[in-house]
Structure 1
Amino acid sequence: MSSPDAPGFELPLRLLLGFRVIIDELHAELARRGHPDLKPMYGFACQAIGPGVTAVELGRKMGVSKQAAGKTIDQLTKLGYVERATDPHDARRKIVRLTPRGIESLTLAAEIFDQIRARWVKTLGADRVRAMEQDLRTMTPPDPFQLDMPRWFGTF
């Protein structure tokens, strides 16, 4: 147990550890529910793909090269989470979009995140969880969907 005067380096480590605990639990549950091949980075990619993007757009959103985005798209295609298609508005443009399996994985992930948060509320109390979330909103940028984590961590 740390003291109220914990060293400054502990805060980012605890925040990262909390993130890791939640993401590990999410992916263990996704695996139990039929998505054993989904990796955390694939979740970032599926969120970034949304209704459809090109490989260049995906790379830009994730903060990685077009080639790195293309490799991720290849893997997600093999796993059945995305498909390549011709843009209906521009036949020269190739887009990547989620398949029903990809949409299902995001829907399940949202459900599982809600269950995880509910357990945190049960353990810590609703007021403390709400206060923690509000404090993090105060200290972080307004857009929580910073999908360029792979680049930031130097994954690519």
Structure 2
Amino acid sequence: MSSASGTGPDLRPGTGYELPLRMLMAFRLVIDEVHRELARKGHPNLRPLHGFVFQAIGPHGTTAAELGQRLGVSKQAAGKTVETLERLGYVERGTDPADARRKIVRLTARGADSLARSSAAFDRIRARWADDLGADRLRALEEDLRRLTPEDFFRLDVPGWFGTA
């Protein structure tokens, strides 16, 4: 996978692994830009993993064990992430109204604000890409990716899959 010079991956057009590497680079560019904007708008401690955590928590909250399952990580790893996000003010733990023995993790107003700002940043980036590529080409790219990927495209277990949480 390294180039002839040995300094990095061989990204010559048409090499088999160029496509996934380019998709990963595009993903990384978008995520890094969103996080720079979040940092400027009062959320400097958020990391890409946290977006997956917020989505896995969902609008009604979840337990640490369920969170770990959704993310594909251990209950302990999920609990450690929850502790960090709780300390930063993005989540809170409370009692489940249906079962007082269960502790539910929920987003705080600060967590919801970060999601709203992320969504707006993603929309701005997409609009800029439409300007750069042309709206028709971007729509075609999105449609092609929809054809090539499963219907349930949003996999929350990416942190566990990467082995980073």
User: TM-score, normalization: structure 1?
Assistant: 0.96
| Runs of at least 4 residues off by over 2 Å | none
SS of the residue corresponding to residue 91 of structure 1 reads: strand
Task: Report the equivalent of 1:20.
Answer: 28
Task: Report the equivalent of 1:36.
Answer: 44
Question: Aligned partners of 1:42 and 1:155: how far apart in 2?
Answer: 12
Task: Report the equivalent of 1:101.
Answer: 110
Residue 2 of structure 1 and its aligned partner are, at CA, apart by 4.9
Task: Report the equivalent of 1:70.
Answer: 79
Q: Gapped runs of 5+ residues in structure 2?
A: 1-10
Identity of counterpart residues, as a percentage? 64
Question: Aligned partners of 2:159 and 2:76: how far apart in 1?
Answer: 14
Please tell me the root mean square deviation across aligned C-alpha atoms, in Å.
1.1
Question: Aligned partners of 1:59 and 1:71: how far apart in 2?
Answer: 10
Residue 154 of structure 1 and its aligned partner are, at CA, apart by 1.2
Task: Report the equivalent of 2:6.
Answer: none
Question: Aligned partners of 1:104 and 1:145: how far apart in 2?
Answer: 21
Query: Is the 2:90–2:111 Cα contact (8 Å) retained in structure 1?
Result: yes
Deviation sequence 1:35-85 (CA, Å, 0-9, x none): 000000011101110120000110011010100000010000000000000
Give the number of aligned pairs: 154
Q: Gapped runs of 5+ residues in structure 1?
A: none
User: TM-score, normalization: structure 2?
Assistant: 0.91
In the alignment, does 2:135 pair up with 1:129? Answer: no
- CA radius of gyration, larger in: 2
Tell me which of the two structures has the higher relative contact order, counting C-alpha pairs closer than 8 angstroms and 6 or more residues apart: 1
In the alignment, does 2:88 pair up with 1:79? Answer: yes
Match of 2:63 among 35, 40, 54: 54
Deviation sequence 1:66-107 (CA, Å, 0-9, x none): 000000100000000000000011101110000000000001
Question: Aligned partners of 2:88 and 2:147: how far apart in 1?
Answer: 38
Q: Which amino acid aligns with 1:79?
A: L
Residue 144 of structure 1 and its aligned partner are, at CA, apart by 2.6
